[in-house]
Amino acid sequence: MKQSFSKRSTMTEIAAKAGVSIPTVSRVLHQRPDVAPETRKRVEQLLEEHGLLQRHAKKLSRKEHSGIVDMLFPGFDSMYSFEIARGVEEVLARTDRRLAISSTHHSLELEQHWMSKIQNSPSDGAILVLAHGEPRRFDPLHRHNIPFVVVDHAGELGPDTPSVGATNWLGGRTATEYLISLGHRQIAVITGPTTLPCSQDRVAGYRSALETAGLPVRPDYICLGDFSPDSGYTQTNVLLDLSDPPTAIFAGSDEQANGVYRALRDRGLSIPDDMSVIGFDDVPTASIVTPDLTTIRQPLREMGRVATTMLLHLINEEPLDSVRVELTTNLIVRNSCQSLNDANRKERP
């Protein structure tokens, strides 16, 4: 089946042809008694022509009351995943459904294997975090009438694929503009995987802020990472070895910023006196590292809550207000950034 957002369009068409309201079409589809016989017959004929009667019957026979919501993550190696899961659990706690969590361990092959297994599982629906690939990879879920919502997608999405994300471009621009406002002109960025739209958008926001300020976008200041602490550590050392190193580093994630911190300390450099550092996500550890990390808050828990609310609507065959939801990011100022004019900069080794 198509997601209920598409089904809403079909039911609207049926209602118009039958000369009735959409709620009347829904009552016929769900075999409610309060519909006149002639009207019921007319609507049922149209429902059958559009294949909705058959799909609805198949869905009911397959999984009427499983009570299980599946959730697929790329891995459990960061606070990012746990924060989204907390949001999902907050919503499901108010229902009679329970959560089943799986991981692909960052493997596209394992994601495809999970897709094949869920077709025969008693799942009411699924939440896919950073799901790979093109729209056709979701075809097994469509074919088996499994509603789903994608969070922070990692590939192309069809126009009818429900998804939740954040304003990554705005977040990247805001982080860079903040550093510029502190007087920094030599600002580096350590990216996430270049295949991820969220990473691409953050770097695009970084570029936009520099260009708007009339500052050059230096290729040697754009270091490729993977959001991990190790990539933050490695790429910070690359930046420090430049003949003209940056005065500030924008880490693509808070986890990555942990690696930046470690590299700077290994070099005997102080944050923020010798280097300003800004992260992205605002996971719980951002406020307890020393110094506490200035970062861009990505509303991870809220993303989980919104995705779960959307999924419950789809499970109940209710229309969505919007098939795409993008939650705003915002700057959280702490103590890891400093005005360049105020900093007592040490001579780098």
Each residue's pLDDT tens digit, 300-334:
999 999 999 999 999 988 889 999 999 999 999 99
Query: What is the amino acid identity at position 136?
Result: R
**281 vs 37, higher pLDDT:** 281
Distance (Å, whole) CA 263 – CA 272: 14
Enumerate the β-bridge partners of residue 151. Answer: 129, 164
Indicate the domain borders of the chain.
3-64, 68-167+300-327, 168-298
| Whether the Cβ atoms of residue 239 and residue 217 lie closer than 8 Å to each other | no
pTM summary value: 0.79
Question: Given this chain, do its domains 3-64 and 168-298 carry the same CATH topology?
Answer: no
Q: In the predicted model, is pLDDT for residue 2 greater than 50?
A: no
Could you tell me the two tokens for 306? 């919104």
- Which of 99-113, 114-128, 285-299 is most confident? 285-299
CATH 1.10.260.40 fits 3-64, yes or no: yes
**6 vs 93, higher pLDDT:** 93
What letters, b where the CB count within 10 A reaches 16 and e where it falls short, cover 71-92?
A: bbbbeeebbbbebbbebbbebb
Domain spanning 68-167+300-327 has what CATH number? 3.40.50.2300
Distance (Å, whole) CA 117 – CA 109: 13
Strand, helix or coil for residue 19? coil
| Whether the Cβ atoms of residue 219 and residue 246 lie closer than 8 Å to each other | no
Q: In this structure, which topology does domain 168-298 adopt according to CATH?
A: Rossmann fold (3.40.50)
| Whether the Cβ atoms of residue 148 and residue 127 lie closer than 8 Å to each other | yes
Tell me which H or E stretch contains 263: helix 254-266
C-alpha 179: how far from its chain's center? 25
Nearest CA-CA partner of 221 in 255, 193, 167, 185: 185
Q: In the predicted model, is pLDDT for residue 349 greater than 50?
A: no
**274 vs 35, higher pLDDT:** 274
Strand, helix or coil for residue 123? coil
Q: Provide the pLDDT for residue 343.
A: 59
Burial class (CB within 10 angstroms; exposed 0-12, middle 13-18, buried 19+) of 106 = middle
